[in-house]
Structure 1
Amino acid sequence: MELIFTKRKDGKYDHLAIWNAGELRGEIECPKQGIIPHDMVHYGVEHILQKRGFIGRVAAGEAAVFQMQGEAESNGVERLVEVFQADGWAGWSTAAEDMLDLYQVTCAARQCPALPLQVADVEQVRQELLRLSALWQTTEPGQSLHLEFTSRD
């Protein structure tokens, strides 16, 4: 599956087009947030951890819609994406142990099972998000960043 993130020149949104086997599977308006787009954080988390979240579910055939029906693993992925997104807003520098603690609190508050994660998992995902951030920063308005996603399904 190919994810094409396009940095728009104007407005409050960037764009994501999701292609699978030559077919457009969905398009998403991604609010500009000062860091990489939310769905690019999903890519980093799901790609590195090989967990089924939004992108993995679309790869498996679900429609790319704003709000999907809840699933235990994808709910856990969404909470983790939120924690990494907050880390990005803080400069990608939160201690991995603190991120794991925040993740546990977030999952408990949303009553969803947390994914079994270690400090090394957080550090691997962060390295991928830093790589993606560097690529996104060098993507000029009007240009696109192409990412390949292979799901575990």
Structure 2
Amino acid sequence: MELIFTKRGGKYDDLILRRAGAADETIACPKQGIIPHDMVHYAVESMLVPQSGFLSLVRDGQSADYATRGGDGEEAIERLVEAFQAELWGGRVPALDLIATYEHACAARGHTASPVTTEAVEAIRARLDDLTTRWSAVAVNEALTVRF
């Protein structure tokens, strides 16, 4: 699946989801001062096995506007994405602290955390750093494409 992130003027960027044998789907991504939320999903989900978050479900045939089932895997990935997104806004913390925050967020929402290692945290951070650099270089109405 191709993810085509287009930087726009105004309050939203666009994400086009391109899958073989399916019509393209476009998602409006609210600007948040960092890379788009769904780009954080890409960084997290592309580095984890098994993959069970939003992009994984869309890649496997779900419509992009589906209502999540709220299963443990989906919820755990969303909490992990939120932990990395908070780090992008607020600055790096030790990997074990990020994992503890993620596990606490999962527990607070009543679902199981997926296992995450410090090595996975560092790999995701490296991907986020690369995406942040690449996204910063994208001009308005230009795109950054990644494969998932």
TM range (shorter): over 0.9
Matched, 1:146 2:145: yes
Matched, 1:7 2:4: no
- In structure 2, the gaps of 5 or more residues are none
Per the alignment, in what secondary structure is the counterpart of residue 16 of structure 1? strand
Cα pair 1:26 1:64 within 8 Å, conserved: yes
- 1:65 offset after TM fit, Å? 1.4
- In structure 1, the gaps of 5 or more residues are none
Cα pair 1:25 1:64 within 8 Å, conserved: no
Work out the percentage of aligned pairs sharing the same amino acid.
45
- TM-score, normalized by length of structure 2? 0.95
Residue equivalent to 2:123: 124
Residue equivalent to 2:38: 39
Paired amino acid for 2:102: Y
Distance 1:38 1:24 in 2: 22
Paired amino acid for 1:99: L
Cα pair 2:83 2:98 within 8 Å, conserved: yes
How do 1:49-64 residues align onto structure 2 when only pairs under 5 Å count?
A: 49-50=48-49, 51-64=51-64
- 1:94 offset after TM fit, Å? 1.6
**Segment drifting more, 80-89 vs 23-32:** 23-32
Paired amino acid for 2:95: A
Distance 1:135 1:22 in 2: 29
How do 1:59-78 residues align onto structure 2 when only pairs under 5 Å count?
A: 59-65=59-65, 67-78=67-78
Per the alignment, in what secondary structure is the counterpart of residue 42 of structure 1? helix
- 1:25 offset after TM fit, Å? 4.1
CA offset digits 1:15-73 (Å, max 9, x no partner): 00100015334211101111100000000000011321000000110110164221221
Paired amino acid for 2:16: A
Cα pair 1:44 1:125 within 8 Å, conserved: yes
Cα pair 1:17 1:24 within 8 Å, conserved: no
- TM-score, normalized by length of structure 1? 0.92
